[in-house]
A and B are shown apart, each in its own frame.
Chain A
Amino acid sequence: MASVRSHESIELMTYSEVVEVSGYVGNFKVKIRKKPRYVDEDKCTGCGVCQEKCPFKADNEFDVGLGSRKAIFTPFPQAVPNIPVIDPDSCAYFLRNKCRACEKFCEAGAIDFEQTEKLVEVDVGSIIITTGFDSFDPSPIVQYGYGIYDNVYTGLQFERMSNASGPTGGKLQLRDGSQPKSVAILHCVGSRDTNYHEYCSRVCCMYSLKFSHIIREKIPDAEIYQFYIDLRCFGKGYEEFYNRLQEEGVNFIRGRAGEVTNVAETPEEKGKLIVLCEDTLIGRQRRIPVDMVVLSNALEPRADAGETAKLFSLSRTADGFFMERHPKLDPVATMTDGIFIAGCCQGPKDIPDTVAQASAAAARVLSMISKGEVEIEAATSIVDEELCSGCKTCLELCPYNAISFDEEKKLASINEALCKGCGTCAAACPSGAIVSKHFTTEQILSQVEGVLI
């Protein structure tokens, strides 16, 4: 990210949102809303004094509710750019019109409470969409007790906890601060489940294995249990990692966990969380008492994927992820020329796959730039100028706004770069002046004869 920001040909716009897209391949016009940061990006040196001095705290979204941040903050230490932002919902100045501590202590004079949002318009030739995913909220699955029992965490929460710059400084601990002696990791929470998401989220098996490894490293005598349907260690070196964990003494239990409860039946279970499941390899119901439960929750489309799809005219698959032009032969292009997708916005995938897809999308864009011209659809519509009466019927009907009216000649004219060849204009033209190439009236009528006679 840091090298992207310092690259001379890349302009990085964080804390910004696309509000409007118009145009076509090679000539997109994109309107972007830059939200007010209340910090002058040119003046700020990133020293961090404002964050130290700010007296107000709020939940840190990046730590998924485990840690706190100030009202002026960067989400995590490595965030790019290293320029903080003021959250008006937790800043005392915005709420009660007092404080301004950050302004007093900022030596660079970068705090600017008067900043307002800015609209900028950029001209671009192509667009790559990499909006990522949302983490599935497991609280609707009440039997797993997320949000009910203190020590049930999501995968992302555990990840933050194990991170050296995270809310606990990398210490694995329960809500009361003590160290867990046993941990259960439940796979496929919200994925491979027809009640929530039918698809496999692909990454959970491997990150669950990684968690086991981290626990083993940080708490060597901990008992670790993995509850799985089946382990999908599909990538390079993944199966070997699984074998290594078996040697490290992780307990693998084949069976989707049915319930997490705190109702103890024996003295050993007292004060613990008990995972109930059917161990399908020994064909028996089991109760496993543990201190901590980690739910490997699904990856799901972003909550605003529908609006993004509308903005960029993208299609979505039944599961809500953005649809590629062809699942095998054109996996990064979309139905709109010049717009590409990469990463988890297209479907759940791990980091190597995301990097490969992003590289492919970048290469597709670069090949268009180096060629300097784009190939357009062969099947476009053309206007026979001799026949066109200039009635303008087609102008209103064209779904791609590809037809304009030539005021000089009083004729309709079609922009071939915009035309997708749908032929609506050809069907509607009262003078029969528009020909839909490769789908001419004669061709279709002969096909009708061909299939019937």
Chain B
Amino acid sequence: MSFEPKIVGFLCNWCSYAAADLAGTSRKKYAPNVRVIRVMCSGRVDPTFVLKAFQCGADGVLVCG
């Protein structure tokens, strides 16, 4: 069985979250390994969010903005 990483993505509402949304409306596929959490700005991402994600078993954390 191949490795399927669990990735938590913190996406900025105005760019990367909008892009993920656009991918959806354009019927484009992306890997389901990334689980998206919307923030109003990537500046909102507190280091504790990242640590919490690893603590809960994430293999990677993506901060986009």
Instruction: Spell out A's residues near B (CB within 8 Å).
Output: 335, 379, 397, 399, 420-424, 426-428, 436, 439, 441, 444-445, 447-449, 451-453
Contacts and interface: CB of A to CB of B under 8 A. Distances in A.
Contacts of B53: 448, 452
A269 B52 CA distance: 78
A353 to B, nearest CB: 23
Interface of B: 6, 8, 14, 35, 37, 39-41, 43-46, 48-49, 52-53, 56-58
A335 B12 CA distance: 14
B43 A397 contact: yes
Contacts of A441: 46, 48
A448 B40 contact: no
B49 to A, nearest CB: 6
Give the dominant DSSP class at A's interface.
helix
A444 B40 contact: no
Contact of A448 (B14, B41, B43, B52): B52
Nearest to A438: B40
A428 B46 CA distance: 7
6 contacts: A397-B43, A399-B43, A439-B39, A439-B44, A445-B48, A445-B49
Given A444-B37, A451-B35, A424 B52 contact: no
Contacts of B35: 451-452
B56 A447 contact: no
What 6 A-B pairs have minimum CB-CB distances, sorted nearest first?
A424-B43, A423-B44, A422-B41, A451-B35, A452-B56, A427-B46
Contacts of B40: 379, 420-423, 436, 439
B56 A448 contact: yes
Contacts of A427: 43-46
A424 B57 CA distance: 26
Contacts of A447: 37
A426 B8 contact: no
A423 to B, nearest CB: 3
A47 to B, nearest CB: 54
Given A445-B49, A449-B56, A452-B57, A436 B6 contact: no
